[in-house]
Amino acid sequence: MSLHGCRHDILGHYLKAIGLLRVLAKCADAAHRDPDAEGWWNSSQACFCLRSPKYPTREKLVEFFVTHFRPTPVFAAWNKEPGSNASDSEKLGVRGDWEIANRLSAQVVSTQDRRKPANRDKLIALEALEAYRDAAALTVAEAVDAIAAPFLKSNTEHPLFLSKGIAGRAHLWRTHWEYLASFHKHRAAYAKAVERMSAHKGTARQLVKLKEKVDAALQSITEWLPFEEGFASAAKGKGTPFFPDAINAAMETATRETTPYHCLDLLSTIFHACRQMAISQSFRDTLPGKRARFFRPLPMEDWSGLLDALAHYDPEDPRLGAEFCIARAAASIEGRMKQRGGTHSEVLPMLGSLLPLKLGPGGWFLPANGDPSHQAVWTGTDVRHDLAAVLARRYRDSLTDDRPTLIASHVSLGARLSDVLSFLRHELDDHLIARWIEALSLIGWKYIKPANTPADGEMESHAIPLEYAALRTLIELECERREGSDTKKRRSQQPISLLCLRSGSTLPLSVTESLRWIAIWGVPNPDREQAKDGKARLAGRDIIYLASISPSSDAARLAASVCIPLHWRDRNALYRAVSLLQ
C-alpha cells in the first residue's frame, strides 16, 4: 500500500516510515507482530510503499494500531518527571514500566544537591539512567541505546539529557507521552465507532436478519463469480491474476465477519476484477470464448443495509464517516436521465465514467471494437484529477440534455457540506475515497432513507470559500428541476470549462463568471419568511458581485469538490454564501 505521508525527501516523513516498520515488527504482543513487513520509497509518487503480509490493507493497518499497538515504554527515569502518569500508562498497557521509572525519578537530584547530607542516598541522573536501563525490559534498553549512541561525545546535545537551560529537563518525553495519551483517546473513540458499526452487535434474531441481508446482497455476485467452467486452469496457466480466488476470499470474510469495511473490501476486489477484464485484452483472451462477462448494477436495498452504519452522523465527531459519505455521493451520480421528450440521456451512471463499459437491458457490457465508450476518464491514481475529469466529461457529454448529469440518484444521497469542505481542505484520506468510489459505483443507487443528520441550522454553520459556493451553486441551478412553462435549458459552459482546466490563472474568471450567471438566474431565497412574503428568489443586485477574486483553494481539489453531489439540506447554506444579507 502507498503511504503519502512518508516521503523520502522530508526527514520527519523518512523517519516515520522507518518507525512504522519497527512498530509492526516489535510494538505489539508476539502473536500480532509482523516481522516480515518491508517497504521502499517510490520517489516518482513521493510515497512509501509498505508490504505487510499480516496487515495488507489500510483497514487492517488501522485495526493493528487500534487494537494491538503498544508503545515502547521509554520513560525519563533520570528526570524529576518521567512523563505520563499512572492513569494514562494504565490505558496504554505500560503501567508496570512507568512505575519502575517513577520510583527512580522520585530519587533524582542534581549533582550539587547530592552533596547535602540529607541527599546522600539519592541518585544523580546518570546513576538513575543506569539503574533504569538494568531494570527495564530489553526493548526499552535497545531503544535507549539507539537514541544515546550518536550523542555519546557531547552530553549537552544528548536527547535523553536535555538540560534545564536548553529545552527543559523532561520536555522531550513529556511531549512524547502527551501525544500517546491523545492517540489513545482517538483510538478509544475509533474503537467505539467500529463497535457501533459492527453488524454482529444485536440479538440472535437480528443476526439471522443480517445473514439474510448478506445472502441477498451476495446472490448476484455468486451468480457471476464462477465465470465459466475451466476458467481457473486457463487463468492460472497463463500467469494472469486469478480474481475468483481473491473474490471468494473476500466473500468468505464478509460472510463470516459482516462489517461495512469487509463488505467494501469485497466490492473493491470485484471492481478490480472488472477493471482488469475491461481494459486488458490479454486477460480476456484467457477467458472462455475470449469474452468478458459482467452483471447488472448490484441491488441497492441489500447493500445499503450492510453499509449504512458508515453514514451515521455523530455530533461529537462530525467527520466520522466523511470519506464514505463523499464516496457514496460520487458513486451515486445518476445516468440515463429521462428527458422532457420521453427519451433518455446517453450519459451513463458513474461506473461508466470509471470503466469503458456500457449499460444495456441485461446489465453492464464491454462494447465491441467498433463501438467503444469514450466516457471513462478514471485513472485511480489521484482522486482530485479523476473527479475533475469526471466533472468535465459528464458536463460536456450532457450539453444537449435537459440538465447536466451531475446529480445523485436521489437528493438524500448527497454528501454533507461539512464533509465536502473537509475534502476541500485536504483533511480526508484521498486514497480511501477513491477506492470506495470504485467499490460503491457497482451498486445501482436509488432512493435511500435519510441517515441520522443534524438539524438545518447546524448544517449551515460553515465558513464556505466563495469560489466553492459560487461554482457549486451554479451546478445546483443548472441541475434544478423546473416545472410548468419554464423549459429553457440552463447552461453556462464557460465557468465549468475554466474550472476544469485546474489552473490558478483561469480560476478567478471562472468564479466571477459563475456569480454573473447566478445573478441572472437567481437562487431560491434561503430565508423562508421572505420567500413566503413573495420574494421567492434572489437575483441581480441581491447576489455578490466581485470584479476580481483571489481564490485560496487548490484548483484541482476545488474542481473535484464541485463534482461531488451535495445533500439537499445544505443548499440553503450555499445560497446564503453567494447572496447579500437581506
Decide if 64 is inside a domain.
no
Question: Pick the residue with more confidence: 83 or 399?
Answer: 399
| Residue for grid cell 470559500 | 465
The single-letter code of the amino acid at 222 is T
Q: State which residues form the domain around 152.
A: 86-194
Positive or negative, the Cα torsion across 381, 383, 384, 389? positive
- DSSP class of 367: P
Residue 43 lies in a domain: yes
Contact by Cβ (8 Å): 549, 466: yes
The β-bridge partners of 108 are 123
pLDDT tens-digit series, residues 32-73 = 888 888 998 888 777 888 888 888 887 788 888 878 888 888
Domain final position from 268, 293, 318: 293
Rounded CA separation 42/238 (Å): 29
Residue 568 CA from chain centroid, whole number:
22
- Residue 344, SS3? strand
> Domain check: are 183 and 207 in the same one?
no
Q: What is the DSSP letter of 553?
A: S
What's the mean pLDDT in 477-481?
Answer: 88
Whether 544 contacts 466, CB under 8 Å: yes
Q: What is the pLDDT of residue 440?
A: 94
Q: What pLDDT is attached to residue 458?
A: 42
Is 62 contained in some domain?
no
Are 190 and 238 within one domain?
no
For residue 444, the SS3 value is: strand
Q: At what angle do helices 138-148 and 125-135 cross, to 10 degrees?
A: 140
Residues 13 and 324: their CA atoms lie apart, in Å, by: 27
Q: Which of 577, 504, 500 is nearest to 538 (CA)?
A: 577
Q: Give the CA dihedral 88, 90, 92, 93, nearest 10 degrees.
A: 160
Closest by CA position to 394, among listed 431, 359, 345: 345
Q: Which alpha helices (DSSP H) does 106-170 contain, by range?
A: 111-114, 125-135, 138-148
Q: What is the overall mean pLDDT for the chain?
A: 79
**pLDDT for position 233:** 38
What is the reported pLDDT for 169? Answer: 44
Residues 416 and 279 in one domain: no
Average pLDDT over every residue of 130-143:
79
d(CA 15, CA 8): 9
Residue where a domain terminates, one of 248, 274, 293: 293
What is the b/e burial string over 312-345, where b = at least 16 CB atoms within 10 angstroms of the residue's CB? Answer: bbeeeebebbbbbbbbbbbbbbbbebeeeeeeeb
**Domain co-membership, 390 together with 497:** yes
Domain assignment of residue 473, yes or no: yes
230 shares a domain with 190: no
75 within a domain of the structure (yes/no)? no
The three-state secondary structure class of 44 is: coil
Q: What one-character-per-residue DSSP string does 228-239 give? A: STTHHHHHHHTT
Domain boundary among 194, 228, 254: 194
Query: Per-residue confidence at 469, pLDDT binned at 50, 70, 90?
Result: very high
The count of residues in the chain is 582
The three-state (H, E, C) secondary structure of 284-339, written as one string: HCCCHHHCCCCCCCEEHHHHHHHHHHHHCCCCCCCCCCHHHHHHHHHHCECCCCEC
Written as one string, the DSSP assignment of 380-439 is SS-HHHHHHHHHHHHHHHTTTSSS-S-SBSSGGGSBPHHHHHHHHTT-S-HHHHHHHHHH
User: Region 388-395: what's the mean pLDDT?
Assistant: 94
Do 189 and 215 belong together in one domain? no
Q: Are 417 and 318 in contact (CB under 8 A)?
A: no
The Cα–Cα gap between 454 and 556 comes to 30
47 and 111, same domain (yes or no): no
Q: With respect to residue 71, please indicate whether it lies within any of the assigned structural domains.
A: no
Are 535 and 528 spatial neighbours (Cβ–Cβ below 8 Å)? no
Q: What is the mean pLDDT of residues 369-376?
A: 76
Give me 122's grid cell. Answer: 539519592
Q: 293 near 281, Cβ under 8 Å?
A: no
The C-alpha cell at 92 is: 496504554
The set of residues, in sequence order, having a beta carbon less than 8 Å from that of 213 and lying 6+ positions away, is 302, 305, 306
Q: State mean pLDDT over 541-559.
A: 87
Residue 164 pLDDT exceeds 70? no
Describe the crossing of helices 204-224 and 243-256 by its angle, rounded to 10 degrees: 170
CB 510 within 8 A of CB 499: yes
Q: Are 49 and 42 in contact (CB under 8 A)?
A: yes
For residues 328 and 428, state if they share a domain.
yes
Residue 61 lies in a domain: no
Cα separation, 296 vs 328, in Å, equals 18
The C-alpha cell that represents 505 in the structure block = 490563472
Residue that is written with C-alpha cell 546535545 in the block: 157
- The fraction of the chain above a pLDDT of 90, given in percent, is 24
Percentage of the residues of the chain whose pLDDT score is greater than 70? 80
Name the least confident of 120-129, 310-319, 396-405, 565-574: 310-319
Nine cell digits for residue 63: 485495526
pLDDT at 370: 61
* 277 and 401, same domain (yes or no): no
Cβ atoms within 10 Å, residue 458: 14
Contacts of 269 (CB under 8 A, 6+ apart): 243, 246, 247, 250
Element (H, E) at 75: none
- How far apart, in whole angstroms, are the C-alpha atoms of residue 380 and residue 437? 10
* Residue 282 sits in the same domain as residue 314: no
Find the mean pLDDT for residues 447-456: 50
Nearest to 124 by CA among 77, 75, 166: 77
**Does a structural domain hold residue 145?**
yes
CB distance 414 to 392 below 8 Å: no
pLDDT in tens, 485-504: 666 778 888 999 999 999 88
**Whether residue 352 is found in the same domain as residue 236:** no
Question: Terminus-to-terminus CA distance in the chain, angstroms?
Answer: 52
Q: Which of 310-314, 352-356, 563-567 comes out lowest in average pLDDT? A: 310-314
Say how many domains are in the chain.
4
Specify whether 172 is located in the same domain as 239: no
Q: What is the pLDDT of residues 260-309, one digit of tens each?
A: 888 888 899 889 888 888 888 888 887 777 778 888 888 888 888 888 88
The pLDDT confidence band at residue 232, using thresholds 50, 70 and 90, is very low
Mean pLDDT for the stretch of residues 564-581: 90
